[in-house]
Chain A
Amino acid sequence: MLKQLLSHDLPRSRWLALLLVLIVLGLLLVPFVLPGSRSLNVAAKILVFIVLVASYDLLLGYTGIVSFAHTMFFGIGAYGVAIASSRMGADWLALGTGAGLALLLSLVLSLVIGLFSLRVKAMFYAMITLAVASAFQTFASQLSHFTGGEDGLSFRVPEWLTPSFEPLAQPLFGVTVDGRLITYYLVFAVALGLVLLMLRIVNSPFGRVLQAIRENDFRAEAIGYRTVVYRTLSNVLSALFATLAGCLLALWLRYNGPDTSLSFEIMLDILLIVVIGGMGTIYGAVVGSALFVLAQNYLQDLMRAASGAVEGVGLLSQLISPDRWLLWLGVLFVLCVYHFPSGIVGRLRQAARAASMAPPASTPTPVQAAETAPVR
């Protein structure tokens, strides 16, 4: 049953399994263990990022395509829900229409970008997507009567999801059940479903072809796979999942603006999480997002305390000031690319393999392949 659910792609490391169980249980129980709006916000952000990063991993980790336009699709999803809800009123139909239209737009855009430029070299594609994404961001903030411009759009959600909706008279395990809680579990369920679906995709024959293209596209083409078709499909799928992640974000925040879903900083965050968590493993997105968002929210408090303690030491207190946390993340990122190209998940799996001394599996895992083969 579990094997089926995880598409036979088990964690393959006791520590990784433990970590995953901890994360899933933590996200599941957070409203009851740590009541309060801040912890719920952090947990919801982790969920959204898990979907977003996993969808990017489909592109970067499994197919070996570097795109900088991923936030564009994320933003389309968020704007879809935001625009539809603020125009059509707060009901489920608006949510569905917004998400549906956003998916359609993402489909068309990713197809066009894919067909137009996926045949070129990795660098070319990275540059073109960077340019397209920045143009889209300007576009979104220019169309102010439609997208709310720089201010963004605040909107109302269906009554069931509003904080004032309280279906139960009695608190459940000491926690009042309200619309926010329902929204949280909705986000949780959708995120879980999407991650399992992505696991299913990457472990299907289709996913294997993507990995073959990542390892050696020339050979994959020679075997008879139309690599352009597969790359474009990977691009489209990844865009659609990112769009859904955007819908979830907007649903949770009940707001969307260019900085929340389109900014280049989010693209950098995605890149950092994918690499630190582990490329080519959907689990890397889960572990990476959880660690990253937690660090982003709580490590900065720690750094604030620490820099307060060494106040007056000049450079040192500046180096560990909370505003500079991205510096340390950048250093960690560079070290990761050099020394742990397979990220946390790859490392854990490697350690597990070394410890068990089991005879090597007949088919190389994606992580093994990523470790040995030159990354293009």
Chain B
Amino acid sequence: MNTATVSTSTPLNAAGAGAVPRSRFDAAPLLLVAVLAALALPMVGSVPTWLTLTVAGLAMGMIVFIIASGLTLVFGLMDVLNFGHGVFIALGAFVATSVLGSMAGWTSADSLLLNLGAVFLAMLVAMSVAGAVGFAFERIVVRPVYGHHLKQILITMGGMIIGEEIIKLIWGPQQIPLALPEALRGSLVLGDTAFEKYRLLAVALGLLVLAAMLYVLNSTKIGLLVRAGVQDREMVESLGYRIRRLFVGVFVVGSALAGLGGVMWGLYQQMVVPQIGAQVNVLLFIVIIIGGLGSTFGCFVGAVLVGLMANYTGFLFPKIALFSNIGLMVLILLWRPQGLYPVTNR
């Protein structure tokens, strides 16, 4: 997680950076990703197919990472695991159905620019709605139960039930199709390899979010405070920073990211059901358990691993594809019981 150095303008910090040895970056989990991809190549047997599968896996991993990053950050910072995180995903996806549904002119137009515009607008609206609801959720539901793990699990589970019902109230209980705009359908053929256009977009967006997150976390003062808060909350508070306010911000951003991920997941599946939250929850938990609870970079590696694994096994052994994630989780926990990148202070 601490790959980049913290560069602030104060000379004191610059001097201090030399004094404190940087912890060595642990590359073994990244190697695991490479090993998994390399192992899959001879089993798949054809390079173009393997490339297609890898891109699909990366796309899925990126979407899951976007959804899970907020969850794991909140856990790391405030020791709150939000079992209701899935509601924001569903919310984002359903908002997207409404926005895209009302913009038929843009989505059916034969112009990539207008199509992308519609999708980005839907994402923007979904993120704002999910962020706003996340703000209310934190105030009303989560705030009274800090420090009580059992109550947190129960309350956020209750929040998920209520959220799912409200979504059914607004959009109805049936599944809603969420079609991709014209220009994003189909695949791009390069040589022998076909890449689905939307998956390429998802990978690009995921890399963008990852880069933005790493930048904010590692190179800005807010990121410094968040990371410090994850390490030692009391210390940061006693230095005069209001970690509470910071946390609300993280929660809102996390919810907004879940909303964004919801839009992407909905477009990936091409349809949305109110139960999507509960379905994705399982995947999210697997990802953050694999990555190490509270670790952002671990969450990224975990998501990519899960995405690749799901796509490779889905192609090679469709029968066991649904258990591959659980199997992966068990194997990784046997190797590293605290996850790939354990947050050391817990």
* Same complex origin of A and B: yes
Enumerate chain A interface residues (CB-CB to B < 8 A): 60, 64, 66, 120-124, 126-128, 130-132, 134-135, 138-139, 142, 264, 268, 271, 275, 318-319, 323-324, 326-327, 329-331, 333-334, 337-338, 341, 374-376
In contact, A122 and B326 (Cβ under 8 angstroms): no
Give the CA-CA distance A263 to B293 in the complex, in Å: 27
Return chain A residues, CB-CB under 8 Å to B149: 121-123, 375-376
Give the CA-CA distance A135 to B282 in the complex, in Å: 9
Partner of A319, one of B148, B169, B282, B322: B169
Q: A138-B322, A139-B323, A337-B154 are in contact. Are A127 and B285 (CB under 8 A)?
A: yes
Give the CA-CA distance A300 to B161 in the complex, in Å: 17
In contact, B154 and A275 (Cβ under 8 angstroms): yes
Asked if B158 lies at the interface with its beta carbon under 8 angstroms from chain A, I say yes
In contact, A131 and B282 (Cβ under 8 angstroms): yes
Closest 3 CB pairs of A and B: A327-B165, A330-B161, A127-B285
Docked complex: B134-154 residues within 8 A CB-CB of A: 141, 144-145, 147-154
Q: Residue-by-residue, is B304-317 near A (CB-CB < 8 Å gives 1, otherwise 0)?
A: 00000000000000
Return B302 CB to nearest CB of chain A, in Å: 13
Return A119 CB to nearest CB of chain B, in Å: 9
Besides A123-B153, A268-B157, A275-B154, 17 new A-B residue pairs in contact (Cβ under 8 A), listed by A number: A126-B83, A127-B285, A130-B281, A130-B285, A131-B286, A131-B289, A134-B282, A139-B322, A268-B161, A330-B159, A331-B162, A333-B154, A337-B158, A338-B144, A374-B147, A375-B151, A376-B150
Return A352 CB to nearest CB of chain B, in Å: 25
In contact, B150 and A330 (Cβ under 8 angstroms): no
Q: A264-B278, A318-B169, A334-B141 are in contact. Are A271 and B150 (CB under 8 A)?
A: no
In contact, B326 and A375 (Cβ under 8 angstroms): no
Give the CA-CA distance A251 to B267 in the complex, in Å: 44
Return chain B residues, CB-CB under 8 Å to A323: 168, 173
Return chain A residues, CB-CB under 8 Å to B326: 131-132, 135
Return chain A residues, CB-CB under 8 Å to B162: 327, 330-331, 334
In contact, A142 and B319 (Cβ under 8 angstroms): yes
Q: A327-B165, A333-B161 are in contact. Are A131 and B285 (CB under 8 A)?
A: yes
In contact, B166 and A327 (Cβ under 8 angstroms): yes
Return A299 CB to nearest CB of chain B, in Å: 15
In contact, A130 and B165 (Cβ under 8 angstroms): no
Give the CA-CA distance A264 to B275 in the complex, in Å: 11
In contact, B323 and A66 (Cβ under 8 angstroms): no
Give the CA-CA distance A142 to B152 in the complex, in Å: 33
Instruction: Name the CB-closest residue of B to A127.
Output: B285
In contact, A376 and B148 (Cβ under 8 angstroms): yes
Asked if B155 lies at the interface with its beta carbon under 8 angstroms from chain A, I say yes
Q: A64-B150, A134-B282, A324-B169 are in contact. Are A334 and B158 (CB under 8 A)?
A: yes
Give the CA-CA distance A164 to B337 in the complex, in Å: 56
Partner of A126, one of B144, B148, B153, B323: B153
Give the CA-CA distance A249 to B215 in the complex, in Å: 55
Return A91 CB to nearest CB of chain B, in Å: 34
Return chain A residues, CB-CB under 8 Å to B89: none
Give the CA-CA distance A376 to B79 in the complex, in Å: 12
In contact, B161 and A329 (Cβ under 8 angstroms): yes
Q: A318-B169, A319-B169 are in contact. Are A135 and B322 (CB under 8 A)?
A: yes
Return chain A residues, CB-CB under 8 Å to B144: 338
Return chain A residues, CB-CB under 8 Å to B281: 130
Give the CA-CA distance A168 to B319 in the complex, in Å: 52
Give the CA-CA distance A131 to B306 in the complex, in Å: 13
Asked if B203 lies at the interface with its beta carbon under 8 angstroms from chain A, I say no
Docked complex: B77-99 residues within 8 A CB-CB of A: 81, 83
Give the CA-CA distance A269 to B168 in the complex, in Å: 18
In contact, B282 and A128 (Cβ under 8 angstroms): no
In contact, A375 and B323 (Cβ under 8 angstroms): no
Q: A135-B323, A330-B162 are in contact. Are A374 and B168 (CB under 8 A)?
A: no
Instruction: Name the CB-closest residue of B to A318.
Output: B169
In contact, B161 and A124 (Cβ under 8 angstroms): no
Return chain A residues, CB-CB under 8 Å to B145: 337
A-B contact pairs, 23 of them (CB 8 A): A64-B150, A66-B150, A66-B153, A66-B154, A123-B75, A123-B293, A124-B289, A128-B289, A131-B282, A131-B285, A138-B323, A142-B319, A142-B322, A275-B154, A324-B165, A330-B159, A333-B154, A337-B155, A337-B158, A338-B155, A374-B147, A375-B150, A375-B151
Return B203 CB to nearest CB of chain A, in Å: 26
Give the CA-CA distance A275 to B168 in the complex, in Å: 24
Return chain A residues, CB-CB under 8 Å to B151: 337, 341, 375
Give the CA-CA distance A330 to B163 in the complex, in Å: 9
Give the CA-CA distance A41 to B329 in the complex, in Å: 41
Return A228 CB to nearest CB of chain B, in Å: 14
Give the CA-CA distance A341 to B150 in the complex, in Å: 11
Docked complex: B308-346 residues within 8 A CB-CB of A: 319, 322-323, 325-326, 329, 337, 346
Give the CA-CA distance A275 to B158 in the complex, in Å: 11
In contact, A327 and B169 (Cβ under 8 angstroms): yes
Return chain B residues, CB-CB under 8 Å to A375: 148-151
Give the CA-CA distance A323 to B165 in the complex, in Å: 9
Return chain A residues, CB-CB under 8 Å to B155: 334, 337-338
Give the CA-CA distance A122 to B81 in the complex, in Å: 11
Return B241 CB to nearest CB of chain A, in Å: 26
Give the CA-CA distance A341 to B157 in the complex, in Å: 15
Return chain A residues, CB-CB under 8 Å to B293: 123-124
In contact, A122 and B153 (Cβ under 8 angstroms): yes
Return B47 CB to nearest CB of chain A, in Å: 31
In contact, A130 and B282 (Cβ under 8 angstroms): yes
Give the CA-CA distance A131 to B83 in the complex, in Å: 13
Return chain B residues, CB-CB under 8 Å to A331: 162
Return chain B residues, CB-CB under 8 Å to A123: 75, 81, 149, 152-153, 293
Give the CA-CA distance A120 to B289 in the complex, in Å: 12
Q: Which of A142, A326, A329, A375 has the most CB of B within 10 A?
A: A375
Return chain A residues, CB-CB under 8 Å to B325: 131, 135
Instruction: Name the CB-closest residue of A to B289.
Output: A127
In contact, A333 and B289 (Cβ under 8 angstroms): no
Give the CA-CA distance A138 to B325 in the complex, in Å: 12
Return chain B residues, CB-CB under 8 Å to A334: 141, 155, 158-159, 162
Give the CA-CA distance A134 to B323 in the complex, in Å: 9
Give the CA-CA distance A206 to B286 in the complex, in Å: 34
